[in-house]
């Protein structure tokens, strides 16, 4: 795994490290059981303070993606094949997704464009995603004079 950092960017360095490790797990570059470099070694390789790497690793540990052990160091704990996520993770993820989509809508991104971006990103992670229609299907309008079925009516 190769990390690329923007030392002058707005995103904190520890967050960049965390995000790139998560992406490597999502793409299968890192799988459960994969060791990561020691904090001091990675910090020396990147020319940054080891506390920065430690903060990134600790975030990944809190998220359940890494196990940190004095003897074995940092080891990937979960990957896409590790089974379904916890209910707590799913709820927190949905809240973050809600905020990201709200930002997109507030900036003028429409539904089809947001869905297409999501589908492209999921495909980047190797997931099978059905094609996203360029225009969302609209249910047909009822014909005038035809009763509209109510919830619970048999059609």
Q: How many CB atoms lie within 10 A of CB 36?
A: 22
pLDDT bucket at 33, cuts 50 / 70 / 90 = very high
pLDDT digits (tens, 9 = 90+) for 114-151: 999 999 999 999 999 988 666 555 566 666 666 655 66
**Assigned token pair, 70:** 């004095």
Residue 75: per-residue pLDDT? 97
Residue 30: per-residue pLDDT? 96
Residue 47: per-residue pLDDT? 95
The pLDDT mean for the chain works out to 89
């Amino acid at each position: 795994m190769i990390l690329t950092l923007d030392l002058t960017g707005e995103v904190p360095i520890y967050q960049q490290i965390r995000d790139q490790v998560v992406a490597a797990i999502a793409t299968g570059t890192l799988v459960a059981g994969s060791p990561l470099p020691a904090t001091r070694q990675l910090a020396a390789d990147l020319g940054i303070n080891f506390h920065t790497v430690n903060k990134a690793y600790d975030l990944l540990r809190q998220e359940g993606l890494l196990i940190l052990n004095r003897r074995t160091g940092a080891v990937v704990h979960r990957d896409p094949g590790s089974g379904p996520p916890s209910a707590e993770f799913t709820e927190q993820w949905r809240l973050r997704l809600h905020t990201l989509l709200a930002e997109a809508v507030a900036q003028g991104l429409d539904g089809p464009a947001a869905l297409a971006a999501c589908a492209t990103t999921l495909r980047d992670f190797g997931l099978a995603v059905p094609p996203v229609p360029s225009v969302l299907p609209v249910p047909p309008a009822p014909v005038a004079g035809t009763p509209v079925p109510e919830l619970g009516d048999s059609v």
